[in-house]
Structure formats: C-alpha cells, structure tokens
Amino acid sequence: MYQPLVSIVIPVYNGSNFVKEAIDSALNQTYKNIEVIVVNDGSRDEGATEQIALSYGDKIKYMYKENGGVSTALNMGIANMSGEYFSWLSHDDVYKPEKIEKEIEALNEYGLKDVLVYCDVEQIDKNSRCITPAKKNKHLKLGINKHYDVLNIMLGHGTYSGCAFLVPKKAFDLSGGFDEKLRYSQDTLMWAKIFLNKFDVLYTSFTGVSSRVHEGQLTQRGREIFIKDSNTMSEYLIPKIVEDKDHASEILYSCAYHNAIIGNKQVVKKCLDASKKDKLISAGRRFKIKCAEAYGNIRPTIRRIYYRVVRGMKTN
C-alpha cells in the first residue's frame, strides 16, 4: 500500500472568517500521512488571521510573507513542502474528511504515481450549507483521462477546481510554479503547463471538496482582471497548442468557443489568427464561434440577474 506524504497548502489573505474551518478540515483527514502548511499572504486584518493560525501550534507549518497574491503564497508553500504530493485548499473552502484518503486509494488501485487525481466538488454558502450538490463531471471519464483530452476540456468548458486535485510534486519540478503575474487565471495556466508536460488525470467520482460561494468573490473588477489574465495566458498557450499537430484543431476551437462565450474577444481573435495558416478551424466552426460571441455580449447581464434572483447575492 503506497502511502506518500501529502502536503496540504492553505494560502490565506484576510481570512479570519473562514480559515479556521479550512484548517480543521485539513487536520481532520482520515489519511494521516499529511502536513498542513498555512501561508499568510500579508493579511491586513489587525492580526486576526495570524492569531488563528498560531493557535494551532506545531500541528501546522505557518509562514508569513508580504502581500503578493495567491500565486506567490502557493509557490512559497510548494517551495517549503516535504510531501510527494501537493493538495491546495483555499482558505474559504473545506475538505471532506476522506478527500486525501480516497485520492491515494485511487493511485493504489491503478498502480500509478505520476498522474493528477481529481474528485467532485459541491458548493456551500457562507454558513457552510450545501447550495449545489456535487455531480459527476460529465466531461471526464472515470479512470485515466489523457493529458490532451483534459486540456481540451478545460479550455472549452472552464478551469478545474484546483482544490479537487492531488498533484505530484514532480509536476511542479517539470512545469515550474504558479505564474505570479496572474491574479485570477494562475490555476488555469498551471494546469495547462502540467498537461502540456503530458501528465494525465485520474478521475475518481466522489465528493471531496466543499467550495464556498460568497459575495466577496463576485466583483466586476474581478472580471476585468480575469479577462486581462486570459489574454496574458493565451500568449503562452496558443503557440503551444498549435505545436501539437494531432490535437491542435480541436483544442484551438474549444479555446476560441469558450472565450467567445465569456466575452473575451481578444483571445478569440488570437485563436482564429493562429488557425489560418493550416486552416485548423473550419468555416462551420467559425460561424459557431460568432454565434457564441453574440451570447457573450449579454452574458454578464444574465449572470447578474441569476445571482441576484436565484442566489440572493449582489455583485458590484
């Protein structure tokens, strides 16, 4: 039975409202060969976050750094981890007690080490009540999913939940760390670099993470940064996609179509321009992308109405 050390890294900034619940869920894992690393990214809450972290004593590794964004905190955690595997836990999310154990069991069942393991995610509100039960990922198949397929799915349907992954440390050694210039899309680029380095994903369908949805996440400023990050990320990704002659056509189309839906016209243009030389995106698919762009123009309004009416949450 393979039982490697797993490092659970919790980056936190001004997280005194939720971080205790996150740390408790990490320490209460049924899989015991773990270390919990809390990285305080320069919180400005009069020491409230630090006080909570310090109250755990030597049960956790605690580090403080000047504020630089979640990527810098994650990279500090990775640089100081002792485990063979990395597991990210956002300070406002919660692990189910068996999250790590079931992912390690999956590695043992398939006899694998150099793969990412992925589980299902439910959504909870600010009071930890379940608002969206986890569903089996309709795009992933149970068992091994090839790296080019999971990259195509991510670029075509939106990023995976970073907290649902169990990642071999080797993946960071080969792919580098999280891009510290990005504020919202650092996870998408990180997974893309790992998939481009041919790490497959082992999907095992169980609910391992409770992801919290709260008003602090829903800001127009956040959308602006996300769009900017996506443009920056595409400068690296699109040339890499085009290099893969076997899968470039499908992945480039998925990337263009998804960005059309979310209203990111600059990335759509980059994808279409990159496809011209080898005619990677057909005329029919170009028409579908144009239709998706029309929807992308009204999508922000639809989302605001949804969160206000259905979820009772205001965006600003």
Domain ranges of the chain: 6-213, 220-309
Whole-number pLDDT of residue 314: 63
Contacts of 12 (CB under 8 A, 6+ apart): 19, 22, 38, 39, 40, 41, 43, 49, 53, 73, 91
What pLDDT digit, counting tens, does each position of 269-292 carry?
A: 999 999 999 999 999 999 999 999
Alpha-carbon distance of 212 to 2, in angstroms, equals 32
Q: Is residue 220 over pLDDT 80?
A: no
Q: Is residue 315 over pLDDT 60?
A: no
- pTM for the whole thing? 0.91
What pLDDT digit, counting tens, does each position of 125-146 carry?
A: 999 999 999 989 999 999 999 9
CATH fold for the domain made of 6-213? Spore Coat Polysaccharide Biosynthesis Protein SpsA; Chain A (3.90.550)
CA distances, 117 to each of 126, 131, 312 (Å): 27, 25, 34
Q: Residue 158: which of 222, 90, 226 has the closest Cα?
A: 226
Residue 96: phi and psi, rounded to 5, are -70, 150
